[in-house]
Structure 1
Amino acid sequence: MGVYYVAHLEEAPISGRRRFMAVSNEDVENMAKHSYQEIMREFGHQMLPASHRYTAFVRRVATRIIKAGGMENLDWEFHVIESPEANAFVIPGGKVFVFTGLLPIVKNEDGLATVLGHEIAHQLLGHHAERMSYGQFLSIIQMIVSIFFDPTFSGFNRMFLELGILLPNSRKCETEADHVGLQLMAQACFDPQAAIGVWERMAKLNKFKGSFEYLQTHPSSEGRIEKMRKWMPEAEQKRADSDCQQGRSSSSMIVGHQKITAYPSTIPAF
């Protein structure tokens, strides 16, 4: 198993982080196709039309980030789901989903760029394939252990593998996407300072605090804010170096969105 693991190590783009990758492009495409079908089956009746102002809002922000990341070659789709859930995600191949419950939290283009920059960074960095690879590797270990040990030990082994490998790797991917996403939004001429406000609002909603972070797939909002402040000079320089003097109003408010005085109770899962 050790030889197999080492043979499938590679460097992640941009960060150069060493990671385990053992799934094919076909595997990722099949997973993405299945996920897309499941999402459309569950939420298709809640999708806003492509002509809706919210869908146009998402498309406008995402397109700038996609261009900054040099990913125009993908077959991008933009879907907005009418639901109080505060969530957004991108599945492999460029399918973007945003729930309307997220809009009161992001507030404007810069805020939405914070979230979409993060999600599009996952696509750019190949994190979906990485997570699939680690999941398959742990399943193989679990299968081998189950052959030689009783089911009780096998169950504990799976738990320790998830706590020791899967969850830490997931948090590394999330932090990497935070960093790259911040640079993408800045390069796309959005205000990176908006990211601080977004994550501060997330922190008010977050039920889990830093002491339980090791049990989460995502870093705590407080930890994210601290890192965002550390990365901010780099992002500000990235924006200054970009051609951002075209009169864009990157902080324009969501068109037609009513003022909302209370945030949704659903915890985001970026």
Structure 2
Amino acid sequence: PRNLCANRIHTSARLNVLLPPHVWLFIKPIQKLLAIILGRSVRKWWKALPANKRQLFKENLQQNRWKLSLASLGLGFLIILFYFTSLEETPVTGRARLLVFRKEHYDLLTTLAYENMIEEFKDEILPEKDERYQQVQKIVQHLIACNSDLPEVAKIEWTLHVVDKPIVNAYVLPNGQIFVFTGILKSVADIDQLAFILCHEMAHAILDHTAEKASVSHLLDFLFMISLVMIWAICPLDSLAMFGQWIQSKLREYVLERPFSRTLETEADKVGIELAAKACIDVRASSVFWKQMMVVSDLGDEPRIPEWLSTHPSHER
């Protein structure tokens, strides 16, 4: 495989966000409510205006259309400036991405998530002397040792937790806390498949995908808040406004969020395969595993949806 460290990664200067992520999480539902209230208030105010005042208001808008246009252009310029000054290169791949929040901003949220998981699975977490734990630990240590030349791997303190639950899943928190459920140990055909899954999940942490997703969501929240105000201001009835809001949410989900999620998953696949290859893992196991997942999906009760509607790439690789 190619040397992942062959190219130096140049990143933009780190900027401090106005508010930490946990504050934005608290504000997020409130800002949507405020947008609805503001838009609805504008609509009620407009309906209550006498006809002559409505006409006067329209004339004032017409007279000041250039000022309004300049104000709109100014707002658009600020948004574009914010976007481009928040771009930096993704570690390892060099992909340009929006990054308002960074891993260090998520320390509190990650710690809380970790503590909640430890509390939730405290009775199911396997001890280190358990054979299943030792089996997974050997793989994790091997992957880390073979990729320790990557600064993104070396700077994370990786810690393994094997949970004795029949859940077919494994994930890695941004701070390197690895959770593997015994259900997935029974689902993989060999060590190579398990190693690839771990590489994929570790790649998400290495690439700071959690911070990137939060950054994109933060920008989309602001942009869609403006359109939400307009929807509730323009629609004559609350029912129509609610329908318009539903359409807006679906457009955001299927046109922006799901394709973006597939991009991150594909990137994690590519980097995961490179991490596995450096550890002399048979990378062909990845395609075999995804084909197995496709068969499981086909045999399941859930309908198969097109890739462009999914949050993950197709298993047909």
TM-score by length of 2: 0.65
Look up the match of 1:100: 182
CA shift for structure 1 position 202: 1.3
CA distance change for structure 1 residues 63 and 26 in 2, over 3 Å: closer, same or farther? same
Contact 2:103 2:208 in 1 (8 A): no
CA distance change for structure 1 residues 105 and 183 in 2, over 3 Å: closer, same or farther? same
Deviates more, 1:56-65 or 1:154-163: 154-163
CA shift for structure 1 position 209: 7.4
Paired with 1:25 and 1:155, the residues of 2 have a C-alpha distance of 32
Paired with 2:101 and 2:91, the residues of 1 have a C-alpha distance of 17
Structure possessing the higher radius of gyration over alpha carbons: 2
Letter in 2 for 1:136: H
Does residue 194 (structure 1) correspond to residue 288 (structure 2)? The answer is no
Q: How does 1:62-101 map to 2 (within 5 A)?
A: 62-70=140-148, 71-101=153-183
Look up the match of 1:179: 270
Contact 1:46 1:83 in 2 (8 A): yes
Letter in 1 for 2:211: A
Does residue 121 (structure 1) correspond to residue 194 (structure 2)? The answer is no
Look up the match of 1:221: 315
Structure 1 stretches (4+) deviating beyond 6 angstroms? none
Contact 2:196 2:286 in 1 (8 A): yes
Aligned length in residues: 223
CA distance change for structure 1 residues 14 and 212 in 2, over 3 Å: closer, same or farther? same
SS at 1:44 equivalent: coil
Candidates 67, 83, 86, aligned match of 1:8: 86
CA distance change for structure 1 residues 187 and 24 in 2, over 3 Å: closer, same or farther? closer
Deviates more, 1:155-164 or 1:81-90: 155-164
Contact 1:65 1:184 in 2 (8 A): yes
CA distance change for structure 1 residues 166 and 141 in 2, over 3 Å: closer, same or farther? same
SS at 1:45 equivalent: coil
Paired with 1:6 and 1:202, the residues of 2 have a C-alpha distance of 38
CA shift for structure 1 position 55: 1.2
Contact 1:50 1:56 in 2 (8 A): yes
Paired with 1:147 and 1:128, the residues of 2 have a C-alpha distance of 28
Paired with 1:6 and 1:164, the residues of 2 have a C-alpha distance of 21
CA shift for structure 1 position 98: 0.7
Letter in 1 for 2:101: V
Look up the match of 2:245: 154
Deviates more, 1:100-109 or 1:88-97: 100-109
Letter in 2 for 1:27: H
Contact 1:80 1:98 in 2 (8 A): yes
CA distance change for structure 1 residues 158 and 6 in 2, over 3 Å: closer, same or farther? farther
CA distance change for structure 1 residues 101 and 25 in 2, over 3 Å: closer, same or farther? closer
CA shift for structure 1 position 162: 2.1
Letter in 2 for 1:44: K
State, as a whole percentage, how many aligned pairs show the same letter.
33
CA shift for structure 1 position 171: 0.5
Paired with 1:209 and 1:68, the residues of 2 have a C-alpha distance of 40
Structure 2: 5+ residue runs without aligned partners?
1-78, 233-240
Structure 1: 5+ residue runs without aligned partners?
227-270
Deviates more, 1:168-177 or 1:148-157: 148-157
Look up the match of 1:141: 223
Please state which structure has a larger fraction of its residues in helix: 2
Paired with 1:169 and 1:219, the residues of 2 have a C-alpha distance of 11
TM-score by length of 1: 0.76
CA shift for structure 1 position 155: 3.4
SS at 1:149 equivalent: helix
Paired with 2:280 and 2:92, the residues of 1 have a C-alpha distance of 20
SS at 2:155 equivalent: coil
Letter in 2 for 1:24: R
RMSD, aligned α-carbons: 1.9
Structure 1, residues 85-109: CA drift from partner, whole Å, max 9, x if none?
Answer: 1000000111001111111222322
Deviates more, 1:99-108 or 1:80-89: 99-108
CA shift for structure 1 position 178: 0.7
SS at 1:221 equivalent: coil
